[in-house]
Amino acid sequence: MSIIYLEQVNSTNTYIKENKLNNGDIVYTFNQTNGRGRLGRTWYGENALALSLLHIPKETSNLPVVSIIFGTAVCVSLKEITSLDLKIKWPNDIVIDGKKLCGVLVEAVTDNDGVCLICGVGINISNKDFPEDIKDKATSLKLLGIDNINIEQLIKAISVKFNKFLENGYKVPESFNDLCITLKKEILVINNGKQIKGIAKAINEQGGLIVKTTDKNLITVTSGEVSVRGILGYI
Ligand code: BT5
């Protein structure tokens, strides 16, 4: 496994797509100029760590759960290193006190060699403020009183935890259920501008969210299609 530091890059996920790397390799930068979120959204990357890990799966069943596994690995690693009371907002925003500290984007790429997964995370490190549209819902390690995180230690921890979870196969890690603050909450599921209100009941084996809607239907939503928020705001 190699760890590659880049002075600047448009997106660490794109870098992995465009370069031939090996399973488990990690690319990171503090200067990502065109970070992507899910569903075509933008990730604001100033003062942040952008990191991507290449995962080449041995089997192709249940790959969507890798995004939950990777998000949990990041959350558990950051919690251990910082002692912050971090939680996960489904599917994999890492949050604290109602604000987002990290965002995760896992992308699948298929070529002649098969499928590979690019697991990306953005972690706000030293931001003192944020652009207008996210200033009420974003936070950084600096704003949380963590000034000197050891980045090498963090990167290694993420890689070790991710591989540890994978030893159990493509399954939702047990710790995810304890960390996930979306469960049992009243939420809005937003799909192409349409909103459905319900209660988040459980996570299924693929990492999808099972929601009981106000008209008592059970629906399962997946992270590639919808976003979810609390009925009173982001959480
Ligand atoms: C995400 O998307 O949160 C996934 C972000 C993944 C970024 C990493 S960085 C390394 C790798 N390379 C990339 O190009 N991407 C990955 P989503 O759940 O769609 O949330 C995006 C939304 O989060 C935006 O629409 C904003 O509302 C908000 N946001 C953007 N930048 C933020 C930031 N720095 N901190 C907190 N919230 C932010």
Strand intervals (E) in the chain? 3-5, 26-29, 35-36, 42-43, 48-55, 87-89, 93-96, 99-111, 114-124, 186-191, 194-203, 209-213, 218-221, 227-230
pTM higher than 0.95 for the full model? yes
> Looking at the predicted structure, is the pLDDT value of residue 160 above 90?
yes
- Minimum-distance ligand 1 atom for the alpha carbon of 45: 34
Residue nearest (by alpha carbon) to ligand 1 atom 11: 120
Q: From ligand 1's centre to the CA of 122, what distance in Å?
A: 7
3-state secondary structure of 32: strand
- Identify the CA nearest to 149 among candidates 92, 100, 102: 102
Kindly calculate the radius of gyration of the chain based on its CA atoms and give it in whole angstroms.
17
Long-range contacts made by residues 28-34, C-beta under 8 angstroms, separation at least 24?
28/3, 28/4, 28/52, 28/151, 28/155, 29/5, 30/125, 31/6, 31/7, 32/8, 32/122, 33/8, 33/9, 34/10
Residue range 168-191: mean pLDDT, rounded: 95
Say which residues have a Cβ less than 8 Å from residue 194's Cβ, sequence separation at least 6.
Answer: none
Residue 201's pLDDT is 96
**What is the DSSP annotation of 132-151?**
GGGTTTB--TTTTT-----H
Mutate which of 43, 95, 102 for ligand 1? The one with the most ligand atoms within 8 Å of its CB, which is 43
Output the residue whose Cα is nearest ligand 1's atom 9.
122
Query: Measured in angstroms, how far is the CA atom of residue 162 from the centroid of ligand 1?
Result: 20
Residue 235, pLDDT > 90, answer no
Residues flanking ligand 1, CB < 6 Å = 11-13, 32, 35-39, 41, 43-44, 48, 50-52, 93, 100, 103-105, 120-122, 124, 134, 138
Q: Could you tell me the distance, in angstroms and rounded to a whole number, from the CA of residue 37 to the centre of ligand 1?
A: 4
- pLDDT tens-place string over residues 222-232: 987 788 998 88
The pLDDT of residue 112 is: 85
pLDDT tens profile 2-19: 999 999 999 999 999 999
pLDDT of residue 225: 76
